[in-house]
Chain A
Amino acid sequence: MAVMGIAEALREGIREEMRRDPTVFCIGEDIGVKGGWGGAFTVTLGLVDEFGPERIIDTPISESGFCGIAIGAAMTGMRPIADVQYGDFLFCMMDQLANQAAKMTYMAGGAVKVPMVMRAPVGSTRRGAQHAQTLEVFFTHVPGLKVVAPSTAYDAKGLLKAAVRDDNPVLIFEHKLLYGSKGNRAEKGAVSPIGEVPDEDYVVPIGKGAVRREGKDVTIVGKLLTVYRALAAAEELAQDGIEAEVIDPRTLVPLDKEMILESVRKTHRFVVVEEDNRTHGWGAEIAAMVAEEAFWWLDAPPTRVSAPDTPPPFAPNLEELYVPSVERIVSAVKGLM
């Protein structure tokens, strides 16, 4: 058992999968340059020393192109782990992900598989509108993709390994404030949870959520950074005698609906917290699911705490307003009691 952050846990997961299976390889920008960065947030740092540039493949700045290359390799016997430096760049490869990777198995009538991983850092971190979005919902909407969002080191390694072994395209969203990247890639204001990660082989099954805190009065669902905001809110609420249950779905597609519904049937109140625009959002989907499937257990309307419908702002004081704060979560919960 070792103690580490998410960036290191992902790195160890990649290392173990590449040692286990010669068809696994990494492809992306600035991931294997000797003396370089190990990707934008150090996840692949040093892997080129062990696996060489043939399996840690640096690409030109060609997001759509290398995504397509990963898809083609996956369709023909390889298991690529691709990554983008910032999740925002996924929009450059939207056709490859949404039209090609996601639909290939279906339009082939089940005759072709696309076992690939695409990793993407998200989250507002004082970089302004094009390097700060939390955009999982664009992909959770597309049938054929699986989407995971680990918020602990244990889950990061276990979900990465599960994603590599999955026979479908899996997107892994990672939050920049949770990585625990070190040196000059460390982030201001980072939460950087560290946790115990087993040395032995394990996976976190795709599709299973986690109850991060038990409670009987309200269910709060968060993902990535907002899991930690929700836990801090639960701590404050407890001072006022309100016991919040905090659920981290860990996988967004397929969603562990039953874990959320079971909690709501117990607490009768529901809040979802997302660092993303409110309208037509992920939180809207989760809230609708709760309204449809647990309506008769609810004592109050399903409620969203979201970013406003603006691009992520740059100014730190505006960014504070944009990302759901502990205070906004506490206030939303109190409004339901």
Chain B
Amino acid sequence: MTSVPSAPSVPFVPSDLLNLYRTMLLIRRFEERCNALFLQGRIPSTLHLYIGQEAVATGVCSALRKDDWVFGTHRPHGHALAKGVSPRVIMAELMAKVTGCCRGKGGSMHVGDVREGAFPAIAIVGAGLPIAAGAALSAKMRGTDQVAVGFHGEGAANEGDWHEALNMAAIWKLPVIFVCENNLYGASTHFAKAFAVAHVADRAAAYGMPGEVADGNDVVAVCEAAERAVRRARSGEGPTLVECMTYRQCGHSRSDACDYRPDEEEASWKERDPLKVAADRLASSVPPVPFDPAAIEADVAAEIDDAIAFAEASPPPSPDDLMRHVYWEGD
């Protein structure tokens, strides 16, 4: 059932693409500033940056409503930003401040804000997928038409939880979308060393659900694939596995120099940078849309400056916070 769609199933409105471009640029510049802040010692943790993969979270979340849920991974800043979590509370979380989206108790690998439908990200590979399926079961049992999204890297598709989640989601026709971000490397291990199939999406057939491969560096392609999956989910037809082919342009984490990747490979993916792909689409859109990259840059820079200022002005958690929230304390 794996398919590589050749033509969009719905006409794409170019003006929407401006918003998607802005979101992708926000993620890109946010991550670049995080990297600089880390090097300056102003962010105390390691970071798993989303640079290069922006089209995936942006395209998927553009197909969702605010009351839909996403479950991010150890590389979650892009998922949270795309779902609408404020850069202020993410930056404050990264800087371990009490105003952070997790009160400074989650850190980079757990950012999320449930008020925006982004649960705290789950940093154990594959573990978030049964949980996303459980949220979908909840939507089905409560009779809402909410949809849950489980983001994961391709490495997660070799964890038992991935298989168990796909199987149960398919049996019960749960409104969940499994979004695989295939960036070709699980940490330093290449896809070809870990899979005997050509695509993760090939495995969807084994569970009786549609699997689709999308160009993960083209936000329009991702958005269209996500919209098809969302329609299936909302109409009770069950889950979809969407594999987005993409590439992380930086190391797995801050300590990774990426010596295992060929230079030519890195260069060829940078040529297909998701921001460039979207900009080319905007520049050639018919009818033409007003596209002012410099203005968007300035707007995004101001939003990130504000987030950093907010985070730096915020206090860290108080010592009392150590013992709080081990158990639920109420709304």
**Which positions in A face B, CB cutoff 8 Å?**
23, 25, 54-55, 59-60, 62, 64-78, 95-96, 99-100, 104-115, 143-144, 146, 167-168
Known interface pairs A95-B127, A106-B105, A108-B112; A72-B327 also in contact (CB < 8 Å): no
Q: Is the CB of A68 within 8 A of B161?
A: yes
In chain B between 156 and 200, which residues have their CB closer than 8 angstroms to a CB of chain A? 160-161, 163-165, 167-168, 171
Chain B residues with Cβ below 8 Å from A65 are 130, 133, 160-161, 163-165, 167-168
Establish whether residues A100 and B131, one from each chain, have CB atoms under 8 Å apart when the complex forms.
yes
Please determine whether A110 and B131 come into contact, CB atoms closer than 8 angstroms.
no
Segment at the interface with A among B54-62, B96-104, B209-217, B233-241: B96-104
**A95 CA / B130 CA spacing, docked (Å):** 12
A167-B328 in contact (CB<8A)? yes
CB-defined interface of B108-138 with A at 8 Å, one 1/0 digit per residue? 0010111100011010100101111111111
Q: Is B148 a contact partner of A96 (Cβ separation < 8 A)?
A: no
Contact in complex: B142, A77 (CB < 8 Å): yes
| Inter-chain contacts of B167 with A (CB < 8 A) | 60, 62, 65
CA A189 to CA B160, docked complex, whole Å? 37
List CB contacts (< 8 Å) of B301-331 with chain A.
Answer: 324-329
* Number of cross-chain contacts by CB at 8 Å: 151
Interface residues of B (CB under 8 A from A): 69, 71, 100-107, 110, 112-115, 119-120, 122, 124, 127, 129-139, 141-142, 148, 160-161, 163-165, 167-168, 171, 324-329
Q: A62-B167, A64-B160, A72-B137 are in contact. Are A109 and B105 (CB under 8 A)?
A: yes
Complex Cα–Cα for A167 and B102 (A)? 19
Cβ A59 vs Cβ B130 within 8 A: no
Query: B105 near A107 (CB under 8 angstroms)?
Result: yes
Q: How far is the CB of A136 from chain B (nearest CB, A)?
A: 18
Contact A111–B113 (Cβ < 8 Å): yes
- Of B101, B133, B139, the residue contacting A68 (CB under 8 A) is B133
Pairs of residues from A and B, 4 with the lowest C-beta to C-beta distance, nearest first: A72-B134, A68-B130, A65-B164, A109-B103
Is B327 a contact partner of A144 (Cβ separation < 8 A)? Answer: yes
CB contacts (< 8 Å) of B130 on chain A: these are: 64-69, 71-72, 96
Chain A residues with Cβ below 8 Å from B124 are: 95, 99-100
Is there contact, CB below 8 Å, between A96 and B327? no
A66 to B161, CA, bound (A): 9
Q: Which residues of A contact B161 (CB under 8 A)?
A: 64-65, 68, 95-96
Name the CB-closest residue of A to B136: A72
CB distance from A314 to the nearest CB of B (A): 28
Whole-angstrom CA separation of A25 from B142 in the bound complex:
11
Complex Cα–Cα for A64 and B171 (A): 16
The residue in A64, A109, A110, A144 that gathers the most chain B C-beta atoms within 10 A of its C-beta is A109
**Contact between B326 and A105, CB atoms less than 8 A apart:** yes
Give A218 to B165 CA distance when docked, in angstroms.
51
Known: A72-B132, A72-B148. A106 touches B137 (CB 8 A): no
